[in-house]
């Protein structure tokens, strides 16, 4: 009975891996190159690495705004595809473009007007007397160039998310792989001044990222339009501007909580990091190393989140509700087991990985201990992530907003704020306590998923 409930058949895992592996491979390669990118910037010095880390934390809010804004329409894309409705997919694709354009405009204006003030929030002197003014200068130089990648990034996500939600996961993976190698190549050339190019440091790193974004976007867009038979929704996608009013209403109801969730969640993560940064600039550097390395290992359960959304979304759209429940249970179980194995590997490597960075011994030691905490918490995070995507696949976006974002702002951030301002507790212990609060979140997620209130066919009309 246990095996039947939590372990799937060979055909089930074949389907799961066909969806998950391309996403996983793309994410692993992207994050591995991000790690190399991070190490190369770190060779320039601790202050440049910290400036880039702070800006990337701010850009993370923009990235998740794009993901959150597109997610509501994406729920309908997956279910329209499951239903076999190309017109519905086309309408959601068109809506995604409007959402992406608005997001780019808002964040570009925000970063141009308030970039200096936002970076300064993270600058606090610690035990090693690092140069805060230089860190601010490096951060601003990096931010101003990185703004150029916002539009191609957003457009690429419109196309790539639609491709994944309609079953094409390989092409976005290939485009992502090419992009990360473009990024890596130009990082080497422009950061250090190789092959006759000037040594541009953090500005070179930003230019390399911009070039990679344009390359990825170009590949995805061109391939989609050249394969109209595979992607029938692209035919006439730019032929009209209007969208069905009923779809707009439905997507608005689902998208607003998702958009608010992603913006407030990513903003909440920035707020958490700002709380940790009160302990000094060396803490910013240590978290930068820990987060960059952790993201490489987190790819496993994050790819499983996308897999849950796609597979369960297709089954719900096709009206196979009981099968959706059954396969969702097996997907969640696999995600947790996978994260236990990956987390164990991460814990074993945690003491040695920070040694590849050219920074102080104190920063390396802090990073190693933070990595160990993240490794121990990985199964918990895998479970809550799978619960989140389960709820979202059935359109329960208001519940996901409360589950994900409200929890962060009501519990995690206030605890981190109090611990950072009113106690002398070490940053590693503070991080462990704040992350441990997610045990409560896991209990809530279990109750929500087992209630089956997320089991909805949103396109049965």
What SS3 string covers 6-31?
Answer: HCCCHHHHHHHHHHHHHHHHHHHHHH
Contact 250, 460 (CB under 8 A): no
Q: 236 by DSSP, 3-state: which?
A: coil
Is residue 168 scored above 60 in pLDDT?
A: yes
Question: Confidence class of residue 458 from pLDDT cuts 50, 70 and 90?
Answer: low
> In the prediction, which pLDDT does 376 show?
94
Longest dimension (CA), the chain: 66
Distance CA 104, CA 417 (A): 30
**What rounded mean pLDDT belongs to the chain?**
85
Distance CA 310, CA 84 (A): 15
Contact 202, 141 (CB under 8 A): yes
Question: Confidence class of residue 378 from pLDDT cuts 50, 70 and 90?
Answer: very high
- Distance from the first to the final alpha carbon of the chain: 36
Distance CA 31, CA 299 (A): 8
Mean pLDDT on 89-114:
89
Q: Where are the domains of the chain?
A: 2-450
Q: CA torsion angle for 142, 123, 378, 289 (degrees, to 10)?
A: 60
Question: Confidence class of residue 224 from pLDDT cuts 50, 70 and 90?
Answer: very high
Measure the CA angle with vertex 165, ends 389 and 460; round to 5°: 80
Which range has the top average pLDDT, 14-18, 222-226, 447-451? 222-226
Share of the chain above pLDDT 70, in %: 96
> In the prediction, which pLDDT does 38 show?
74
> In the prediction, which pLDDT does 125 show?
66
Nearest-10 crossing angle of helices 245-277, 413-422:
20
Lowest mean pLDDT among 78-87, 264-273, 419-428: 78-87
> In the prediction, which pLDDT does 268 show?
86
Question: Confidence class of residue 127 from pLDDT cuts 50, 70 and 90?
Answer: low
> In the prediction, which pLDDT does 433 show?
95
CA 436 distance to own-chain centroid: 21
Question: Confidence class of residue 334 from pLDDT cuts 50, 70 and 90?
Answer: very high
Lowest mean pLDDT among 10-14, 312-316, 368-372, 393-397: 393-397
Contact 84, 175 (CB under 8 A): no
Mean pLDDT on 349-369:
87
Is residue 293 scored above 80 in pLDDT?
A: yes
- Going by C-beta distance under 8 Å and a sequence separation of 6 or more, which residues neighbour residue 400? 257, 258, 261, 388, 391, 392
Mean pLDDT on 113-138:
80
> In the prediction, which pLDDT does 369 show?
95
Mean pLDDT on 53-75:
82
Contact 342, 378 (CB under 8 A): yes
> In the prediction, which pLDDT does 140 show?
92
Looking at residue 148, the DSSP 8-state letter turns out to be G
Contact 333, 6 (CB under 8 A): yes
> In the prediction, which pLDDT does 189 show?
94
Mean pLDDT on 333-358:
91
- Going by C-beta distance under 8 Å and a sequence separation of 6 or more, which residues neighbour residue 200? 190, 191, 193, 207
């Amino acid at each position: 009975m246990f095996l039947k409930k939590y372990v799937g058949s060979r055909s089930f895992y074949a389907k799961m891996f066909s969806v998950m592996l391309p996403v996983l491979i793309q994410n692993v390669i992207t994050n591995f190159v991000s790690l190399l990118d991070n190490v190369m910037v770190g060779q320039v010095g601790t202050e440049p690495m910290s400036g880039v880390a702070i800006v990337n934390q701010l850009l993370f809010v923009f990235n998740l705004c794009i993901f959150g804004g597109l997610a509501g329409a994406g729920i309908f894309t997956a279910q329209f595809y499951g239903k076999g409705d190309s017109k519905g997919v086309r309408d959601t694709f068109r809506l995604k473009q409007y959402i992406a354009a608005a997001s780019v405009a808002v964040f570009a204006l925000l970063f141009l007007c308030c970039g200096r003030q936002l970076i300064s929030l993270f600058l606090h002197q610690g035990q090693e007397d690092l140069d805060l003014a230089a860190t601010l200068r490096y951060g601003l130089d990096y931010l101003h160039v990185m703004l150029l990648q916002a539009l191609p990034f957003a457009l690429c996500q419109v196309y790539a998310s639609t491709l994944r939600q309609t079953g094409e996961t390989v092409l976005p993976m290939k485009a992502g792989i090419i992009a990360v190698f473009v990024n890596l190549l130009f990082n080497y050339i422009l950061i250090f001044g190789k092959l006759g190019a000037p040594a541009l440091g953090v500005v070179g790193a930003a230019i390399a990222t911009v070039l990679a974004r344009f390359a990825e976007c170009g590949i995805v867009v061109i391939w989609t339009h050249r394969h109209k038979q595979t992607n029938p929704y692209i035919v006439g996608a730019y032929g009209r501007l209007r969208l069905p009013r009923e779809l707009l209403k439905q997507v608005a109801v689902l998208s607003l909580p998702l958009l608010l969730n992603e913006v407030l969640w990513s903003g909440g993560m920035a707020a958490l990091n700002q709380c940790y940064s009160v302990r000094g600039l060396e803490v910013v550097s240590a978290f930068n190393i820990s987060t960059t390395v952790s993201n490489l290992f987190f790819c496993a359960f994050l790819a499983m989140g996308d897999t849950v959304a796609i597979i369960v979304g297709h089954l719900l759209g096709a009206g196979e509700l009981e099968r959706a429940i059954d396969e969702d249970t097996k997907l969640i179980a696999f995600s947790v087991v996978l994260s236990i194995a990956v987390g164990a590997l991460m814990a074993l490597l945690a003491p040695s990985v920070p040694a590849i960075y050219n920074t102080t011994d104190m920063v390396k030691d802090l990073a190693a201990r933070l990595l160990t905490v993240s490794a121990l918490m990985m199964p918990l995070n895998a479970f809550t992530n799978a619960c989140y995507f389960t709820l979202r696949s059935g359109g329960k976006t208001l519940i996901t907003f409360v589950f994900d974002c409200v929890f962060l702002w009501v519990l995690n951030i206030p605890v981190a704020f109090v611990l950072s301002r009113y106690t002398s507790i070490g940053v590693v212990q503070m991080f462990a306590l704040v992350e441990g609060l997610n045990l409560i979140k896991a209990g809530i997620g279990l109750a929500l998923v087992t209630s089956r209130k997320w089991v909805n066919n949103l396109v049965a009309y």
